[in-house]
Every structure is written in C-alpha cells, then in structure tokens.
Structure 1
Amino acid sequence: MIVLTKEEMQTVFTMEEAIQADKEALRLFSQGKSTVPLRTNIDVPEHGGQSLYMPAYVAGDNQALGVKIVSIYPGNIAKNLPSVPATMVLLNAETGIAEAMMDGTYLTQLRTGAVQGAATDVLARKDAKIAALIGTGGQAISQLEAMLTVRSLDEVRIVDIDKERCEQFVKEMSEQFAHFNTQLIVVDNSEAAVKGADIITSVTTSKRATFSGEHVKKGAHINGVGAYTPEMHELPSEIIVRADKVIFDTMEGVLAEAGDIITPLNEGLVERSQYQGDLGEVMLGKILGRENEEEITVFKTVGTAVLDVVTARKILAKAKKLGVGTQIAL
C-alpha cells in the first residue's frame, strides 16, 4: 500500500488536473455509473466526537473504489490536534485490497475547490474579470486557486468577518498566487465585494446570507460552497429567485442538506422546476447551462464521495508514475 502526505499530493497533482477529475466524476455520476451509499455517522460520546464514513464506487474504464473517513472532535484543539482529521483509503476495485491511504483533509479541500472551479468554468461568462471571495477559512485557498485557474481575472475582492485574518490571507495568497497576475484586494464588506463582480464564491458555514441579492449584477455567476446543513443559509433567497439557472453537484445531496436551497423552496419563493439539475447533466448536454451573457447562474455544492474516489484514484496514478509516496506492507 502507498501512503501519500499532503505535500506529496501537492507535488504530483495540480488544481487544473483536479478540476478535470471533478468534471469526470460528475459526468460519471450523471450517467449512473457510480454507487454512493449514504454516509454513516457514528457518535463517540465519551470523547465528544463523531466519525463519518463516506464510501463510493465508480464503474467503467476508470474504476475507483474507496472510503473517506472524517472525524469531528472539537476537543482536539485543546490537545493541539486537528479538530476535523480525515483520511482517504483507496481499494483496488478488482481485488478489494487496500492500495493507498492519503491525507483526506487536503483531498477534501482540493476536490471542493475543484468542483467550484468546474462549475465556474462551465457556467461563468468567458470574459469574467472580477471575482469576489467571501470567507477565508480552511477551504478558501483552494476556492481562490480554482477561480484563478479557470478565468483570467483582473482582481479578486476578498472579505471575511475577521478583518485581520482576511488581511493576512490576502498577503499570503498574493505571494503564493503571484504567477496569476491578479490583484487580490481586502474589502470591508460583502457589498463592496459583490457589486459589479462577474463571479461570486461564498465559502462559509453562515446561518444567514453572506451578501445581498440586490447587489448582484446581471450576468454574474454565484457559487455556494460552505453551507451544508438545513440550518446554514449563506446564499440569499433573493438570488435563488432571481437566478436564471440553479445547478447542483448532486440534486439529491443539495435538496437533502443545503438550507439556502431548501428554504426558498419550502417558503414557496421558487418552484421545484426552477432547480434545473446537476452540473454533470449540463456537461453531458442533458440540460442547459448559461445561454447568454445576461443570465445569472447559481451553483450549489454539498459534496459527494464520487469526487473523492475519482480524484484520489487520479492522484494515486500520478504518484505511482512519478515514484512518489511511501510503500508499506500490510
């Protein structure tokens, strides 16, 4: 079995490759070539923790089988340990033997940034020049990189409830992503970030909207990435009503988990028919994506294990090819 660290994964696999992997994963999902059982949650009350198991299998020429194990232990912070540790285990689909273990935390960040990049590439205007990023938490780096990868942007306006954290983030990212030649700007509020923006990405766990729908211009593309429970609501209902196209990573996942999509439906602000379908269906030509430069498009993701296993399989293939990773005998 090969063990891959975050640093090794970064060495062998780029954001551009991750975006292509996520596109393939969602196409396969929409073609019915994947099996994704509901995740299993196990409470560990003695230690105030939870352990979640997210398995998936993808059939076809590029078979992928595996499970991502994500634990939530808030008390770990006091022990100077990660509060949400994650590990990805890949199995050989032909034999069922475990053949790789890799950093699941980084994999989640990578594939989540990449799925937003895939949606932005498919749905945003080709001439997009201004982007907004709301939230500078753990997912923000990959979200920023994905937008920079798929569009040649002049500026990205960045805002966070913690101004100091936002300023530090912009300073570090301006150095890390200097090769994109995009100006990264700290702004004081979401209105300053969103007004006139061609692409808006919100990556927070907020229980209320992180920006106002009235500030969104025609032709904008919006990504809702952070909110993943019925209580979370980072996208304003107004923009869901205004949107010409509302597209998901998976319809079943979003309608079961995403409050910012469930609420407008339950309140009768939109009809179920206004939710077009999945990004994989857009890429397969089964449903329409952006049809003109004036349309407002919305993409909502809550994640799916298909993204994990397909991306992990491709990372493993590159690592083997380049001789990267530590081999251990089981």
Structure 2
Amino acid sequence: MLDALGDALVAFSSGITVVPPRVAVRVPDAGLLGSMPGYVPGVALEVKLVSVFPGNHHRGLPSHQGLIALFDEGDGAPLAVMDGTYITAIRTGGTAAVATRALAREDARVLAILGAGVQGASHLETFPRVRDFDEIRIASRDAGKAARLASRYPRARVASSFEDAVRGADVVACCTDAREPVVRREWLKAGTHVSSVGGTFGPEIDPEIMSAARVFVEWRGAATNAPPAGAYELQGMDADKLTEVGEVLAGTRPGRTSEDEVTVYKSTGHAVEDAATARLVYDRARAEGVGASLPL
C-alpha cells in the first residue's frame, strides 16, 4: 500500500491526474459531508463521500465515515461501492508514513503520536514500517485511550502530556481533532519531522513551526483553497514555497536538506490516495471472490 500511495502522489505532482478540490456541506454545530472525486489514469476513477462528525466519539462511532464508488475509466460503468471508513483511516496514516520515509532523518528512533483515536492507531500501524523506532510515545486527552493504544505495540508507552511526548522526539505525528495547536515550536529539537493529519476544524500546528520549518504537502492547493479543501495552517502561505511530497519522491524537488532542518508534512487528505487504496481493495476482493454482485 505504501508504494501505491507514493506512486499516486508522484502521478498527481506530474500533472496526469484529474482531481478537483474537495467540496463539503456543513451541518451547523455537528460536522460536514465532503465529496472527493478523482481520476488517476490506469489506477482508478472514483468518488468518495465522507462525513466528519467529531461528536461521534461520544456515540461510539468513528468521526470519519464514508463510501467510495469505483467506475470503469473506459466506459464509466460503476464497478464497486465499498466502505470508505477503514480505507480513509489507513490511507491517511499510510500517506503520512510515505512522507515520513522521505523526510525524516534516517537515524530517527523516537516517535511521538499525539491522539489515540482512529488515526493514532493508523499511524502506529504504518510509521514503524518506515523507521526502526526504539521508543513510541502516545499522548491523548483521554489517558485510557492512550493506554489501550500503547498496549498494542511493545515499544510504545503512554506520555503524560503532549509536551512530554514531543520533547526529544525525532518524529511527531499529530492525529487530533483539535481546534488549536497541540505542538509548540519550543518543544521541538533540531531535525524533527512533524506530521499533521488533523485540523479539520482548526489549526493543529503552532504558527511558529510553520514559519520556521520547510513545509511539504500533498498538493499546493491546500494553501490556496479555504478549508475544508485546504488546511488552516497553510492559509496565507506562499504556495510556491511549499513542496509536494510527490515531487520529492520523483526527485524533481529536494526533501530534507540538512540533519538539523525541521520538516513539516501537512495533510488535508487527497483523492489520489483514495483511488490508489480503493484499487488495491477492489483487486484483492476480485481475486479472492469476496463481496456481493448486484444487478443495476
């Protein structure tokens, strides 16, 4: 999956994909329903409908729920409808891991995961695949959730606070639904890589970090489009100063340039990630004969 996600980012940055900005309908004081269509030639023609309702944590439901529909890129015929909740979770952590593989120091050994929900679990699954972490610190506003997540991995432990988790870490993965920054510039040591996939309803990263770091994105449109298509942290930034991860993977623009450089990967999620992951799921389902066929 990580290689497929990397290939999708390269395809996007090369200009061969067709992906309009995400649009969303907001439900006041509750959440939003977003539409994310995309076309990656030779991979998938798809659309995802995804709802983001942060209050679902109190209902025992995921905050992100969705459906993905695949279509034949030759004749437009519908091919499949699949659950988008798990795909969204694992492709988000997976793409962040791809960025970390490209941008974090090779000697990174301490990982801090901020947030112990669905994305915290996704990052715990994917990040150890790209670096050999000796220690993983998990911090959450819910200590019980942090403890349950840490119990899944022998090298993981619960940190007492976000600051406790971040200080001294080589890689910091922000996976929260915070409305204000959860990581501060003064907590970071030189050479840290910061990954942020949260911030649907507000900034997750301190503005001082965004100003001091080299910033990497899935697409520069995250700075020129308002949320939820764009990222809160990127509003007002010069899009030309941002680097797409696909450009780093393709070798057309540099990634990390020094051991002391602080790098930031700011994600908004992108339809090419859904396309790449949904194609893997569809092909696997067809190969194993699972799923239900319905006449239309």
Q: Distance in 2 between matches of 1:134 and 1:156?
A: 11
The aligned amino acid for 1:233 is: P
Q: Residues 210 and 236 of structure 1 are in contact (CA less than 8 Å); yes or no, is this contact kept in structure 2?
A: yes
Give the C-alpha shift of residue 191 in structure 1: 2.0
Does residue 281 of structure 1 match 2:243? no
Q: Distance in 1 between matches of 2:252 and 2:269?
A: 21
Aligned residue number for residue 235 of structure 2: 262
Aligned residue number for residue 187 of structure 1: 159
Does residue 246 of structure 1 match 2:236? no
Does residue 206 of structure 1 match 2:184? no
Q: Residues 72 and 78 of structure 2 are in contact (CA less than 8 Å); yes or no, is this contact kept in structure 1?
A: yes
Deviations 1:79-122 (A, max 9, x none): 87666431111011112111111110111001101110000000
The aligned amino acid for 1:107 is: I
Percent identical pairs in the alignment equals 36
Q: Distance in 2 between matches of 1:273 and 1:251?
A: 6
Q: What pairs with 1:32-47 in structure 2 (closer than 5 Å)?
A: 32-42=15-25
The aligned amino acid for 1:249 is: E
Give the C-alpha shift of residue 162 in structure 1: 1.5
The aligned amino acid for 2:198 is: G
Aligned residue number for residue 216 of structure 1: 188
Q: Distance in 2 between matches of 1:167 and 1:192?
A: 15
Instruction: Please list every run of at least 4 consecutive aligned residues from structure 1 whose deviation after the TM superposition is greater than 6 angstroms.
Output: 73-81
Aligned residue number for residue 34 of structure 2: 52
Does residue 21 of structure 1 match 2:14? no
Deviations 1:275-312 (A, max 9, x none): 33210111112211012322211111001111111221
Q: Distance in 2 between matches of 1:42 and 1:273?
A: 26
Aligned residue number for residue 68 of structure 1: 48
Aligned residue number for residue 116 of structure 1: 96
Alignment match of 1:225 (pick from 197, 204, 211): 197
Does residue 169 of structure 1 match 2:169? no
Q: Residues 249 and 278 of structure 1 are in contact (CA less than 8 Å); yes or no, is this contact kept in structure 2?
A: yes
Q: Distance in 2 between matches of 1:82 and 1:221?
A: 28
Q: Residues 246 and 276 of structure 1 are in contact (CA less than 8 Å); yes or no, is this contact kept in structure 2?
A: yes
The aligned amino acid for 1:258 is: A
- Alpha carbon RMSD of aligned pairs, Å? 2.5
The aligned amino acid for 2:217 is: F
Sort the Cα spacing of 1:194 and 1:42 in 2 relative to 1 into closer, same or farther, 3 A. Answer: closer
Deviates more, 1:306-315 or 1:128-137: 306-315
The aligned amino acid for 1:158 is: I
Q: Residues 221 and 239 of structure 2 are in contact (CA less than 8 Å); yes or no, is this contact kept in structure 1?
A: no
Q: Residues 227 and 259 of structure 1 are in contact (CA less than 8 Å); yes or no, is this contact kept in structure 2?
A: yes
Q: Distance in 2 between matches of 1:325 and 1:307?
A: 22
Q: Residues 199 and 221 of structure 1 are in contact (CA less than 8 Å); yes or no, is this contact kept in structure 2?
A: yes
Unaligned runs of 5+ in 1: 1-16, 175-181, 266-271
Aligned residue number for residue 14 of structure 1: none
Q: Distance in 2 between matches of 1:306 and 1:130?
A: 30
Please tell me whether Structure 1 or Structure 2 has the larger radius of gyration of its CA atoms: 1
The aligned amino acid for 2:295 is: A
Corresponding pairs, count = 291
